[in-house]
Amino acid sequence: SLAKNQTNMIGLIVPNIENPFFASIATSIESLLTEYNYITIIMNSNDSHHSEKKMLEKMTALNVDGLIIVYSNEFFFTHSVDYIQKKKRAIPTILLDRYIEDVESPQVYYNNELSGYITTKFLISIGHQNIGMLGANETLINSRHRYKGYKKALKEHNIAINEDWYVETAITFEDGYNKADQILRHGEVTSVICGNDLSALGFMRRAEEIGCRIPDDISVVGHDNIELNRYSSKPLTSIEQNPRKLAEYAVNKLINQIEHKSTNHSFYSDIILEPNLVIGKTTK
Ligand code: RIB
């Protein structure tokens, strides 16, 4: 309320509102914040660091009471983090989904090293040795962590890592489609782990176009397990990252910080969620 010198507005910045994963997160966050009597201002950075910085300035100018940010897929994100942290009146902030090193704001995200590890272990367990990875990009720490888990699983099974089977940056339909050939041209991989479900769908489209059958010739695994999977006739095998859960933790943490202004340490600690592999019809 105004009496408490609050605007009752919370800023949410997401990297790609077209991605159902982030659309679901935004929907959940907004509905939870409404219950707490806050208005959510949603901005879409389009995975651009430049836009994100401008949006942070706008949110500050609007005097939002708190911020929830899913950072853009660009390496120099630390500038945005600095921007928030150096403000005189620090805005309570929660970082969501995309983990960032060395920040004070609490973070809520899935254990990405574990997701890389369990997807790779699963593919090995059903007989794959030549496992490719699409989306192991250096700019996103999530991807680096998934790649780490992937390498760990391969190592445990004495399977050599082949750099040709690893392609960077794949988080859109186009990425999956356009970069598929870089992996498929070698004619060696029998399975591919994708950066998310959108890139997995783009990859599948391209693979089928050039005559590969999914899953008979190539198995495909996505990340996020977007709701579309529940209604698709060929649901992806995918790592589930539950948007509602992410939203609940983020909102609870933020509201606690704003309303209780507590110094209770648990308000400032990170929450790391356990990913879970959902087996669909794209792996065999
Ligand atoms: O779909 C977007 C992807 O980027 C997700 O897997 C999420 O974890 C983020 O890193």
pLDDT for position 8: 96
Residue 101's Cβ-count burial label (10 Å; 0-12, 13-18, 19+) is exposed
Structure tokens at 235: 């649901």
Whether residue 142 lies inside any domain: the answer is yes
Ligand 1 and 175: CB distance under 6 A = no
Whether residue 125 lies inside any domain: the answer is yes
- Do residue 258 and residue 226 come from a single domain? no
Whether residue 283 lies inside any domain: the answer is no
Ligand 1 and 28: CB distance under 6 A = no
Ligand 1, residue 142: give the atom nearest the CA: 10
- Do residue 6 and residue 90 come from a single domain? yes
Task: Read off the amino acid at residue 113.
Answer: E
Examine residue 92 and say whether the peptide bond preceding it is cis (omega within 30 degrees of 0).
Answer: no
Ligand 1, residue 239: give the atom nearest the CA: 6
- Do residue 191 and residue 247 come from a single domain? no
Q: Total domain count for the chain?
A: 2
- Do residue 157 and residue 259 come from a single domain? no
- Do residue 216 and residue 131 come from a single domain? yes
Whether residue 246 lies inside any domain: the answer is yes
- Do residue 230 and residue 264 come from a single domain? no
pLDDT for position 236: 98
Name the helix (H) or strand (E) containing 123.
helix 112-125
pLDDT for position 166: 85
Whether residue 99 lies inside any domain: the answer is yes
The alpha carbon torsion through 232, 234, 235, 237 (nearest 10 deg) reads -170
- Do residue 145 and residue 246 come from a single domain? no
Ligand 1 and 199: CB distance under 6 A = no
- Do residue 104 and residue 9 come from a single domain? yes
Ligand 1 and 98: CB distance under 6 A = yes
Residue 2 C-alpha to ligand 1 middle, in angstroms?
A: 37
DSSP 132: E
Report how far residue 141's alpha carbon sits from residue 74's, in angstroms, rounded to the nearest whole number: 10
- Do residue 20 and residue 122 come from a single domain? no
Ligand 1 and 97: CB distance under 6 A = yes
**Best residue among 98, 199, 272, 273 to mutate for probing ligand 1, ranked by most atoms within 8 Å of CB:** 98
Q: Are 59 and 14 in contact (CB under 8 A)?
A: no
Residue nearest to atom 1 of ligand 1 (CA): 196
Q: What is the CATH number of the domain that holds 252?
A: 3.40.50.2300
Structure tokens at 283: 């792996």
Whether residue 281 lies inside any domain: the answer is no
- Do residue 50 and residue 170 come from a single domain? no
Would residue 98 be called left, alpha or beta, if left means φ above 0 and alpha means ψ between -120 and 50 degrees?
Answer: beta
Ligand 1 and 49: CB distance under 6 A = no
Residue nearest to atom 8 of ligand 1 (CA): 97
ipTM: 0.95
Q: How do 66-69 and 219-224 pair as beta strands?
A: unpaired
Ligand 1 and 237: CB distance under 6 A = no
- Do residue 120 and residue 210 come from a single domain? yes
Ligand 1 and 219: CB distance under 6 A = no
| Cα three-residue angle 189-192-195, rounded to 5 degrees | 150
Mean pLDDT by 10 residues, the chain (284 residues): 77 95 98 98 92 91 95 64 60 90 87 97 98 79 91 96 83 92 93 95 97 97 95 97 97 91 69 97 98
Ligand 1 and 146: CB distance under 6 A = no
Residue 281's Cβ-count burial label (10 Å; 0-12, 13-18, 19+) is middle
Neighbours of 51 (CB within 10 A): 16
Contacts of residue 153, defined as CB under 8 A and 6 or more positions apart, other chains included, come to: 116, 117, 120, 121, 124
Task: Read off the amino acid at residue 127.
Answer: G
231 is in which domain, residue-wise? 112-240
- Do residue 131 and residue 97 come from a single domain? no
